[in-house]
Structure 1
Amino acid sequence: MELREIQIFLTLAEELHFGRTADRLHVSPARVSQVIKKQERAIGAELFKRTSRNVQLTPVGEQLRDGLAAGYQQIQEALATAAAAGREITGELRVGYSAAWCGNLVVAAADIFRSRHPDCLVHIQDSQLHDPLGPLRDGSRDLQLIELPIDEPDIVNGPVFFSEPRALAVPADHPFAERETVSLEDLAEAPMITVSGQPPYLLDFHYPQRTPKGRPIPRGPSTTAWQEVLALVGAGKGVSPTSARAADYYSRPDVAYVPFRDAPPVEYGLLWPATGNTPKVRAFVRTVVETAALQAGAVRSGRTAPGRV
């Protein structure tokens, strides 16, 4: 039984008059009669006793009315609450991202979000590696989809959308470029190019100072942007860990990407300020979750290439 048909039944049960029911619901009396007959056929019993003078509920009709009324009221209240929340989603929403594949997901989610909330303008911006949390703290960003881990009392960690195997970006003429894989122990053999300005624990996770066996990892130049990292690697100034997917998005003739065989993955998740848990932020998070699920389903069915997720 569809929601509209439930509404027709409950209204007739209240009015006990086909004409008044039709007027209230802006349908024809014939439509009301058609719906009731359909319900009676489905249930296998009369719901109303009809005479030329009046309409009365049968015992089965009374039972159905009592069973449906509370649930229908809850549905109406839920719809009203959702509509009220939707009206709150106005103004602007500023969303940052780091890696290109994060940007693809954010852009796709923003398209869906705009179609649902046309009164809310979504600004999408590239996040800087050297200051991943600054824009969230100074109010210039509402959300960011960036590398983890992030462990800050004033920042909310939302869903994780990507868990990517790691690779080592090396100069194309470096001996590592000839290998099928590298190990974390190999980091002791080449200067590591790092990104400055990140929280210490984030730097330690992505740019460790020692190998698992305790060997020191030499430091190369430090920079503030990913394209600068690649330029330094291509110039032979060192190597730098990254996501293996970077090979698909940041291909350069002077840089090779060699997969790690023993490094933990790089995860990417949504972050937002603890003080910024607004209806539009929650709505955008839900939209990103839905969009990621749709894209994953498209990949599984072969409708798109994995690199576009």
Structure 2
Amino acid sequence: MTDEHAWMRADPGPIPTVDLHTDRAHSARVYDYLLGGKDNFPADREAGDKVITDWPTAHTATLAARACMHRITRRLAEVHGVRQFFDIGTGIPTTPNLHEIAQSVDPACRVVYVDNDPIVLAHARALLTSTPEGRTAYIDGDLRDTGKLLAHPVLHETLDLTRPVALTLINILHFYSDEVARPLVQQLVAALPPGSFLAVTTGTADSAPDEVARAAQHYRNAGIDNYQRTRRQVEQFFAGLEWDEPGVALANRWHPDADGPALDDSEVTVYAGIARKP
């Protein structure tokens, strides 16, 4: 009998050789630094330290956003029964990753990760540690090329696109303007079957306008575009979808864990929300 899961236990071979451009800051590595990770370089730490100087709670806000991703994934799997996830803008693997949260609910969950950052590609093996019952896969791709992503054979080999899928866009949309991001999200949602979900977390200056404005300028000075959105602007990504409670909310107010840290709104600069495609 053929072991259909043998590929997951096989040696994936050497990590791909990629140019990490370590001489300049990178959004994924700055985020990793703010999380307290080690996959970053002097240029990333320099940019991160400037952000922290003008925004002392940046580390807290970043941890709150990451924790919210965990809650989003768990709610999609536990409450809404989602078993397939299409995660675009994955970022550097940080345990627990999305598939680890989903597969803790149901080991049969399947996840396709997408990112175009060289540092994420170099660590992609950490995203392929699926349970034997489920499956994970990685596509080296760009959110801006939705047609290529939706036609990619890895997507179709891993997920059944006739059944509901959760499209998760976690901390990626704030790197794109509304003019770029909205059509991309609309195209992706349109390609998913009824019963699918859109899940978004994205940056805002609503709760700490002065601090975020200064931090955003440091990102731009480091060559990293960023666009902070109001709650209303975030809600517009979900046009035509059915809200899951409580709609769009600051990450600390989106289904907080009872035993999690109590955070003031000014410490959190990310909105979160999920909604269902009817």
Between Structure 1 and Structure 2, the one with more strand by share is 1
TM over 0.5: no
Structure that is richer in helix per residue: 1
Question: What's the TM-score, normalizing by structure 2?
Answer: 0.28
The structure number with the bigger radius of gyration is 1
> Normalization by structure 1: what TM-score?
0.26
